Amino acid sequence: MERYNFKKIEDKWQKFWEDNNSFSTQIDHSKKKFYCLEMFPYPSGKIHMGHVRNYTIGDVLARFKLLKGFNVLHPMGWDSFGMPAENAARQNNLDPRTWTEANISNMKSQLKKLGLSIDWNREISTCTPEYYKHQQEFFLELYDKGLVYRKEQYVNWDPVDQTVLANEQVIDGKGWRSGANVERKKLNQWFFNISKFSEKLLENLNTLDEWPNKVKVMQKNWIGKSFGCEVSFKIENSKQIKNINCFTTRPDTLFGMSFIAVSVDHPISKLYENDKEFIKFKKECSTTGTTEEAIANAEKLGFKTDLIAINPLDNDIKVPVYFANFVLMDYGLGAVFGCPAHDQRDLDFALKYDLEVNTVVRPNKTDSTFKVIDKAYTGEGYIFNSSFLNNLKCPEDSIITTIDYLEKNNLGKKQINFRLKDWGVSRQRYWGCPIPIAYDEKGNPKKIPKEMLPVKLPNIKKFETSGNPLDNLLEWKNIIIDGKKYVRETDTLDTFVDSSWYFLRFCSPKNKDYGFEESEIKYWMPVDQYIGGIEHAILHLLYSRFFMLAISDGNKKIDIDEPFKGLFTQGMVCHETYKTQDGNWLSPDEIQTIDGEKFEKKDNTKKVVVGPSESMSKSKKNIIDPEKIIQNYGADAVRLFILSDSPPEKDVQWSDEGIASSYKFIQKLWSLNQKIILEISRNHKFDSSENLEKYTNIYLKKMSDNLDSFSYNVLIANIHEMCTYLNKETSNKYTSKTLANNYNKILITLLPIIPHFASECLELNKFKINQEWPEYDEKKLIEENVKIVVQINGKKRGLLQAKRERSEKNLLLDIEKDNKLNKYLNNKKILKVVFIKNKIINIIIKQ
């Protein structure tokens, strides 16, 4: 028997799909659309297993929807601006564009070898002027809408990469790429006014019912809405400072206040800018480590001012004002009032500086002994020691009452505060989208006129070691608009801007007038299923949601609020890690094993230390190259394996045994196919078609259900069962017609998963290649004979074959006749019978 030649057959079908433009898509209003999108890759050079998993999951869905008769949009592109290109250029003295384009062409051919159903006619690349021209238009459009502005601000400066980082790109106080300690620096920056949509971005999360809850929770926390009020405190002893305003979520604890703490960056710090002690304190605050432990263990430090603040609810309560290291200028108003009894930080601070601890909330109304000593009480309870607030239920009633009082007496106002900050998009980098702005002699920004777009990124011959080469490119920097001299903005846009609208561009990839055509996004948007890694749960997804709101803001023709209707976050691909005994990482290629337990290095047979399985990464060398695997086992085997071992949303363990087993399984399916071709040609006279038809019908239901619910690992199990069943059941039992009819349907169900193999089998069987997904018949799922579980006192004691709808009474008679079952009853008194038709009978007897 001829073995399955995956090389020949996979090449054949990939060529067929390409020659026939099988996956190119046009608007077709007679069909329902389905927009299936996987997060596009950064062209780093080669695809990795994470891509294989991501794009296989998406392809299964896209092909399934195509078979179901949807008009499927399944595009692919390249997130091709960004620092690696620039770094490679510096290191190897070449042009980032050349490097990027070579990578794209290599990765594209790798992706094609996976047999993905992608409409390559819609391919886009964000580093091309055809793409970023429209991004510049959007920038100016948002500028006109007041959603883009420029301000001087402290920024996170990465001294190694010589660039500004967004808050989200700073992890544990270090740059997310360079790992260098991030410094604070004041620069003029461009911002997107994302905080304008805080409420909307939060509210809309409720409408995203096809998103993982986890991602919604993460975004909710990131947006960080808190309800409270602004309270104004009079300062009684200063000419310059009359008031300090604080934001609080717990105004009801005002009577327990014993100090005010403000950030060292608070405006009142101006009063102390010449105070040597204060300067020293401020410096101390900024050098406190930013690692997790440092923050957790950081001591609360204060610098006492001579200011005295008055409690607005009781003018006799006068408290000192401190600068404190735990108050951040970034959040709220950069000032808090301290109520040590009911906030742990305030309590730590109070104990250190010997401030009063006044308990004003107690768990019970009447517990007169309750007093906070060394642990702040933040639970529910009742207010006391607080004048007009006494005995109010806390926090619900007490907060509302306090805010009412403050507002009526002009002492404060209700306020909702968000943690979400505006998005700083300026990057001091070359390889990004130029910001379409120039400055006049006075430094005022001017929009580059539309007809002068795109502002093309000039070619750079030589890269200096650091900084932005655009700064030194005078012939590009100096520009004349309407006869006047201007200097260009040399910062480029954060690459997250590029990916914030690419899903719109896919709808109209060639449109020259604008980033998209309204009629086209009206048809295709929103993305029905977006698939990618959980690492983008906040940044990319939030920015994209913002961009959609920003573009449709004030444009009634675009009524799309949310870009991604469904979101699926796939797990990572993991592999064991290996190290030499002196701690150097080893790749799986460098090691071998004899017994599967002890591992040694191939070249010198030295012992290898096997570490835990972790997400594949270059730094740990635990990577498996998809290209080699495709070469050895074929794309279908890789697709099959990457789906089979774990549910797609969980991490999957790469294993040599696993991929080998998938390969073998395809061979097994191949021999099944040969066998069935032979059986069909024999045309048996017998026909117990009912069995096969019934089986096929159940199988189709399972396949459809599991495809709909992303249970792809269970789907593969269904295929294994099918293979075993057909191998057993198809010998000498069916007429050609019955067998061909059912087998044809089964083969179609393999198309989404192992498309080359399934296409080849369809062709060999002379079945049509383009067929619709076979639907199952709901009526035929009903079995005439059913198995009834028999329980005695809730314990399973056996099974009973019975006709459908058999009554409780008759089943009891059956049980009495059954030798295995009747011994349990043994003339004992039946107290109760629980009977669920066609399912279970539970007999309760006296013991």
Residues 767-796 that bind RNA (CB under 7 A): 787, 789, 791, 793-796
Give yes or no for residue 716 binding RNA (CB under 7 A): yes
Give yes or no for residue 661 binding RNA (CB under 7 A): yes
**Segment near RNA (CB under 7 A); pick from 38-46, 388-396, 466-474, 656-664:** 656-664
Question: According to CB under 7 A, which one of 102, 328, 416, 452 is a site residue for RNA?
Answer: 328
Give yes or no for residue 651 binding RNA (CB under 7 A): yes
**Segment near RNA (CB under 7 A); pick from 106-114, 122-130, 179-187, 291-299:** 291-299
User: What gap in Å lies between CA 110 and CA 403, rounded to an integer?
Assistant: 62
Question: According to CB under 7 A, which one of 92, 288, 391, 581 is a site residue for RNA?
Answer: 288
User: What gap in Å lies between CA 338 and CA 353, rounded to an integer?
Assistant: 12
Question: According to CB under 7 A, which one of 255, 326, 543, 568 is a site residue for RNA?
Answer: 326
Give the CA radius of gyration of the chain: 34
Between vectors from CA 763 to CA 760 and to CA 767, what angle results, nearest 5°?
Answer: 135
Which DSSP category does 607 fall into? Answer: B
**Footprint (CB under 7 A) of RNA, residues 509-548:** 534, 538
Give yes or no for residue 609 binding RNA (CB under 7 A): no
Minimum distance from residue 379 beta carbon to RNA (Å): 10
Q: Which is nearer to RNA, 140 or 339 (CB)?
A: 339
User: What gap in Å lies between CA 633 and CA 757, rounded to an integer?
Assistant: 13
Long-range contacts of 293-298 (CB under 8 A, 24+ apart): 298/325, 298/326
- Residue 628 CB coordination number (10 Å): 10
Q: Which is nearer to RNA, 307 or 438 (CB)?
A: 307
**Segment near RNA (CB under 7 A); pick from 29-37, 274-282, 357-365, 834-842:** 834-842
Give yes or no for residue 730 binding RNA (CB under 7 A): no
What is the sign, positive or negative, of the torsion defined by CA atoms of 658, 662, 668, 672?
positive
> What proportions of the chain, in percent to the nearest 5, are helix, strand and coil?
40, 20, 35
Among the residues of 753-842, which ranges form H helices?
A: 755-764, 808-817, 819-825
Question: According to CB under 7 A, which one of 44, 106, 188, 226 is a site residue for RNA?
Answer: 226
**Segment near RNA (CB under 7 A); pick from 131-139, 141-149, 708-716, 752-760:** 708-716
- Binding residues for RNA, rule CB under 7 A, total 79
Question: According to CB under 7 A, which one of 647, 769, 780, 818 is a site residue for RNA?
Answer: 647
Tokens of 202: 């939060």
Closest CA to 116 of 173, 40, 176: 40
Question: According to CB under 7 A, which one of 33, 112, 177, 345 is a site residue for RNA?
Answer: 345
**Segment near RNA (CB under 7 A); pick from 23-31, 102-110, 237-245, 651-659:** 651-659
Give yes or no for residue 228 binding RNA (CB under 7 A): yes
Minimum distance from residue 176 beta carbon to RNA (Å): 10
Q: Provide the b/e sequence for 367-381 (b: ≥16 CB within 10 Å).
A: eeeeebeeebbeeeb
**Length of the chain in terms of residues written:** 847
**Footprint (CB under 7 A) of RNA, residues 244-273:** 247-250, 263
Closest CA to 376 of 256, 261, 260: 256
Give yes or no for residue 834 binding RNA (CB under 7 A): yes
**Footprint (CB under 7 A) of RNA, residues 387-426:** 417, 419
Question: According to CB under 7 A, which one of 16, 331, 523, 695 is a site residue for RNA?
Answer: 331
What is the sign, positive or negative, of the torsion defined by CA atoms of 140, 169, 81, 571?
negative
User: What gap in Å lies between CA 121 and CA 142, rounded to an integer?
Assistant: 30
Give yes or no for residue 832 binding RNA (CB under 7 A): yes
Is 620 exposed, middle or buried (CB count within 10 Å of its CB: 0-12, 13-18, 19+)? middle
Q: Which is nearer to RNA, 27 or 717 (CB)?
A: 717
Give yes or no for residue 664 binding RNA (CB under 7 A): yes
Q: Which residue has 């104004």 as its token pair?
A: 232
Identify the helix (H) or strand (E) that includes residue 715. Answer: helix 712-729
Question: According to CB under 7 A, which one of 45, 84, 129, 658 is a site residue for RNA?
Answer: 658
Minimum distance from residue 629 beta carbon to RNA (Å): 15
Minimum distance from residue 77 beta carbon to RNA (Å): 26
Give yes or no for residue 646 binding RNA (CB under 7 A): yes
Residue 216 · residue 205 · CB < 8 Å = yes
Tokens of 521: 């996004």
Going from the C-alpha of 399 to that of each of 372, 391, 403, 406, 663, the distances in angstroms are 20, 13, 6, 11, 65
Question: According to CB under 7 A, which one of 217, 782, 813, 830 is a site residue for RNA?
Answer: 217
Minimum distance from residue 294 beta carbon to RNA (Å): 8
Give yes or no for residue 653 binding RNA (CB under 7 A): yes
